[in-house]
Structure 1
């Protein structure tokens, strides 16, 4: 007989591989442990159990793959079990090459085992979900035998969540918001049932108080996610993510964030009734969670949290990437057991203040200050203020106001972000800040108006001002693109009109100054028209920023 089958087989029954080379090991279905006279290995298994789905519905088929990370395995036993269960669940319809279906406790095809002790590097089997009964979240568990005294028990797959599988978004709407469930949406009070551009989440307490029914909805080609936080900044947040996996199916993930890094996936825990769909670029999912909400990796005693609603892309492996826009954040902490309706603020007040200050600085006060220096010197000739020409005092005050507002805006946004966000916008902003400090500093050391080298300062001062203006306009454009929630990008379009209005007036004033009589100054009405148009564009953009 085979040399590896020795007297040990008779002393330890049922032996797993060497004594049962044919894999008919039904007696081991319960413990999944071979009686080889030694204990299972406690080190990390050089094997893996993977599945092709993260959720299943009644009657679904799930492909399960057993793989050797290195080397091979001689024998194995594979079962599906309900989370927390101790008996096989469902049945296998295909065992794969080198494997066979196995009956457990009178249930046919309840497990898969080896059919011979030949070395194997991969086994692929198909599991079939029951069509009725106690359907719930499952996990696949396997035992791998590398050699007679070297084996691993309980190597598990990722959890596969049970889904009702209707694949529709009809159940998600704003009905019941503020009455039976808490809702956060952007735009405020939008209804996902009628508006596909609505970002929406709801939380409805279960009748026994043990958890919540959650709904998440939003346009995205990657993922939408909700997070529960103690503050309005990322970090130490409990997160649920609905997003595409590597096969393009919508999966649910439970995660915890540390700082601004990619959230760490954690155990799904007690999550049931998962249902998801992806239709016309919109992700919709709902599920029941009886997990405690944790913002410190341990259960919190409060039920009030800030709610984040984010969306972004995933890579080809289904791993979420950084969200391109700031998450929508509830305007206040929410007690999930007290139904209410809150609008989401995609950007907190401190970020909006940053944008407003930069806009005022370089599209109004800065522009008017430059216009005064270029075109109105002669108009105020002879008019003095504090011993200086009036035009100079007005120009200096307006430009110092622009620099001061820029400094404040710079401090505000960095105190909020506390990190480097990346992209063109912060780079442009830093360049504006540096050149803005250079301008008044250089002016303090300028030579007198009659000095032979004064022209050097005049040219350098003008060129630096032009560079600041160009960089500031570019920074404002990139900032508006980041925050604009509309599909047609109306904020950048208004900014384009703003820049065109200003450029046309500067060009008109240059032509007017060149072709009118020497010494004749621009008409007051022309300057008034410029200022009124400037204010109209400014107010429009400020209102737009306030509403994002």
Structure 2
């Protein structure tokens, strides 16, 4: 996977490979892998090549015939190298790119193996980065598992079962709410304002947002059967009052293929507008998204202080009303356009995010009592929030 031109760079690569698990409803819920190659900084790339590789310590070293790539972006193609069908994913042209995506599909629904994806990325003809790796993944009998369990299963070692040999059901992690701020979005469409506070205690939330650190947040959401085949969003907004408008928004997006993305947008009046790529790069320091066993996971880290339009934000000092909304979105390939929300809530009081610590648990519990704002009317793109 070494180009025949240019020189290999020794600096850290300004690109990353992100992988997620998809439960493919068209393939009897087979678990497949979505892959995104994207630039991490204000750069582009002209070419790339990606292949699946076995982990170095895996007893099954050959992977070329275990699965194949399917492209998701038009400026890429798949190739069959060394007589292995579609075992390579690469560029279709030399035009500048910021991100590309594909899927890797196991040939067998009982696939066993531990693997990662390796990329070589050409920024310009004279410079490239090699051996860019994704995180490893472990599969047993066609389903993702963790490294420890995989090693035991492959080695025929006994596995401790949970709840009298009942397989573990996957759900939102509510245990994290014992020592950090959690905000829950109820999984129903009632007008009871207590539903959102109670859904944490009853472990029945549609979505759960928590603050890991002062500027580090995450959303977990359980896809409903109706939303599992649609493009869905779960959004968190920072507002200095209890009305939406001129506010900063973080969007956790999962499309119908199970690809998870984190986007930034701004409420301007009653409309919602995605931020520019440069604005996102300036504000968003880290991001990670996965869709595993029906649960959407988004994690992101923001700059503590930033300016958006004519407004300054300071997560370390200012208090904000926190809004959480869910709904569906459309994409034109360049921007994501959110439709009117299905569910929405806000905190009853502004929250000083810098004061949320494990020692202030009582205050955290008080703050999970939320006011539900519910409205039903025909959606209009320029009337996103009521």
In our comparison, the structure showing a higher alpha carbon Rg is 1
For the aligned pair, the TM-score class normalised by the smaller chain equals 0.3 to 0.5
Q: What TM-score do the two structures reach when normalised by structure 1?
A: 0.36
Higher relative contact order (CA 8 A, sep 6+): 2
Which one has a larger percent strand, Structure 1 or Structure 2?
A: 2
Which one has a larger percent helix, Structure 1 or Structure 2?
A: 1
